[in-house]
């Protein structure tokens, strides 16, 4: 837990948010990841809905590079597109609810 607290106090600040004051599509990812490490799935999803698909894509990428699945590249591509759509939709929802 102390490690998590240390990480929470040393998050990287988003340069866009510092500069312009508005959230970027990646803001919330680190907070969401810490919530996930604490086992708090609901908070994690609320902060950044695309985190779980992103982690899935990343882990599947590593597995694919290791074991070279037959349709791995195609699955990766489609899950990547899904993740991108989730990122964009959640960003639009976040921006429109903030105004």
Partner 1 sequence: MENQNPPFPPPPPQGNPYQQNPYMQNPMGGNPMGMQPDLPNHIGILVLGICSIVFCMCYGIIGLTCGIIALVLGNKAMKLYTDHPGAYSEKSYKNAKAGRICAIIGTCLSIAYVVFIICYIIFVGTMISTLPWQNMNSY
Task: Kindly tell me which of 43 and 79 has the beta carbon lying closer to partner 1.
Answer: 79
- Residue from 1, 3, 12, 42 touching partner 1 (CB under 8 A): that is 12
Backbone angles phi, psi at 28, to 5 degrees: 100, -10
Please give the biggest Cα pair distance in the chain.
Answer: 47
Task: Kindly tell me which of 35 and 91 has the beta carbon lying closer to partner 1.
Answer: 91
Task: Kindly tell me which of 35 and 87 has the beta carbon lying closer to partner 1.
Answer: 87
Task: Kindly write out the interface string for residues 53-92 of this chain, putting x where it contacts partner 1 by CB under 8 A and - elsewhere.
Answer: -x--xx--x--xx--x-x--xx-xx--xx-xx--xx----
| H-run or E-run covering 6 | helix 2-9
Q: Specify the DSSP class assigned to residue 25.
A: T
| H-run or E-run covering 24 | none
């Amino acid at each position: 837990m102390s490690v998590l607290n240390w990480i929470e106090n040393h998050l990287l600040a988003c340069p866009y948010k510092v500069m312009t004051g508005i959230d970027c599509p990646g803001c919330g990812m680190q907070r969401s990841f810490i919530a996930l490490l604490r086992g708090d799935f609901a908070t994690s999803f609320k902060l950044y809905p695309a985190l779980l698909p992103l982690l899935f894509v990343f882990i599947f990428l590593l597995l694919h590079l290791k074991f070279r699945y037959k349709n791995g590249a195609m699955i990766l591509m489609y899950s990547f597109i899904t993740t991108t759509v989730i990122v964009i939709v959640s960003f639009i929802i976040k921006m429109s609810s903030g105004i």
